[in-house]
Structure 1
Amino acid sequence: MKTDLLFRHPIRIFCIANFLTVILIVVTFSFDYIPQWAPGAFAILIILFLKGKSGVYELIKSMSFKFINLKWYLLALIFPILLCYFSYIGISMVEYKEIVNLKLSHSLSDYGTLVFLIILGSCGEELGWRGFMLPQLLKKHSLFTSSLLIGIFWGIWHLNILLGVPVFLYILF
């Protein structure tokens, strides 16, 4: 019975497990922590249960870099930095009527550690959203619909970070 439920509804179980984890973390610790590796962990657990170790290997292998033109990697790395920089300038001009000097208040190693942790956490999310959820949704939906569903779920999942309130309060009310 349990196995049949997991085989028939892997996406629902994946989503429910992620929401329950977020609710548990929020209730027991703080409102501003969200477990970035929860989607990846549940993806691995569900795949392990459904397809065994070979399925987990395929899941992780599917997340490897595809060697495409270097300009796309550079664009993906540089564009967010430029976006932040120009946003900072725009906010400075609106808020202070001048460009405020950007001062780094921590050492470069602190920023390096932060970047590493952001990338590490993002890998956990991508493993769940893109590595597990997207292929499952593509079995029944178009790429557009699948991407839209993941975007909606991702947005709800991150709602407590964006608004500083536990996500389950938005679901309940």
Structure 2
Amino acid sequence: MILSHNNKKSNLKQIAVYLLLVFVLPLFFVLLKMYTPLGRSDALTLILFGLEAAAPSLAAILTVLYFEASHGLGQFLKERYVYHFNFNMVLLSLFLPVVIIGAAKLFSWLFFHIPPTLGVLTFKKILIVCWALIAEELGWRGFFQDKLGIYLNELVMPIILGIIWAVWHYHYFISGTMSAPLILFTLGCIADSYIYFAVTKAANGNIVPASVLHFSENLCCNLFSINPEYNNGSIIPYLLYVTGSLIAAAITIFITIKRKEKNKALL
């Protein structure tokens, strides 16, 4: 995409504002939970956690609202949720994590004799998992991915986005609501960024498939108890899960390269 000088400056400003908001907002909500009376109420704590998790989408909404006003925000939301809805991609996004994470759990049992325990999904957990449908993808895939893609090609952009996405989870770690092997987690975020990009591109920018993918992945991670803390400290299930994501990412990279070669041959 070729941008004018003014458009490039505006785009960079939007990226800067988005990144500032996406990293500061969750910290603000964490501090409210930890150091104010709001954190003493279970209901208010859950609401603050929801706002903390939704920082990417909130940051995107605030950024678009600031730079493009309410009309621009309305158009942005239509483009991301209404236009080019792809039911087939939604189905693929729903079942892909089941295959990857289910296989990781199965292989860890068959080949490493790790008991195939399943997680208990309480009402609170179900609520948090369902929140993934709207909490993040409007920001990461709906806004930031497009902005970053103006400057980086399809093979490099998911790496940068994946690293930033992984680092963004810092607030979960400092508040003690999340635990995962950091290196594997970062690799998983990078791999997932390729998959999410491919899904969003196939849906022509509609983020419903990516949102369903995020929901399904979180659901399967909880249902199949994939984290080390649920497997007597063993990282094997998580390692197999990330390996599966890397294989899926490698397939999307291969398809991207082949598509580029085909397009060049047609020129």
With the length of structure 2 as denominator, give the TM-score of the two structures: 0.47
Separation of aligned partners in 1, 2:148 and 2:168: 17
Contact 2:108 2:114 in 1 (8 A): no
Runs of 5+ consecutive residues of structure 1 not aligned to the other structure = 1-5, 167-173
Is 1:20 the counterpart of 2:24? The answer is yes
For 1:141, what is the secondary structure of its paired residue?
coil
Q: Which amino acid aligns with 1:78?
A: F
Which residue of structure 1 lines up, in the alignment, with residue 69 of structure 2? 52
Higher relative contact order (Cα pairs below 8 Å, separated by 6+ residues): 1
Task: Label 1:154 to 1:106 Cα distance change in 2 as closer, same or farther (>3 A).
Answer: closer
Is 1:131 the counterpart of 2:135? The answer is no
For 2:66, what is the secondary structure of its paired residue?
helix
Separation of aligned partners in 1, 2:150 and 2:85: 26
For 2:81, what is the secondary structure of its paired residue?
coil
For 1:22, what is the secondary structure of its paired residue?
helix
- Calculate percent identity across the aligned residue pairs: 21
Which residue of structure 2 lines up, in the alignment, with residue 92 of structure 1? 109
Residue-by-residue CA offset, 1:124-166 (whole Å, 9 max, x unaligned):
31111122112222333323333322211101112454xx346
Is 1:62 the counterpart of 2:73? The answer is no
Task: Label 1:62 to 1:145 Cα distance change in 2 as closer, same or farther (>3 A).
Answer: farther
Which residue of structure 2 lines up, in the alignment, with residue 120 of structure 1? 131
Which residue of structure 1 lines up, in the alignment, with residue 94 of structure 2? 77
Contact 2:25 2:55 in 1 (8 A): yes
Count of residues in correspondence between the two structures: 150
Runs of 5+ consecutive residues of structure 2 not aligned to the other structure = 1-8, 35-48, 176-267
For 2:136, what is the secondary structure of its paired residue?
helix
Residue-by-residue CA offset, 1:89-146 (whole Å, 9 max, x unaligned):
3333466x375464x7457xx49x71x6424334231111122112222333323333
With the length of structure 1 as denominator, give the TM-score of the two structures: 0.67
Separation of aligned partners in 1, 2:114 and 2:62: 52
Is 1:140 the counterpart of 2:151? The answer is yes
For 1:74, what is the secondary structure of its paired residue?
helix
Task: Label 1:105 to 1:117 Cα distance change in 2 as closer, same or farther (>3 A).
Answer: closer
Give 1:15 shift. 0.9
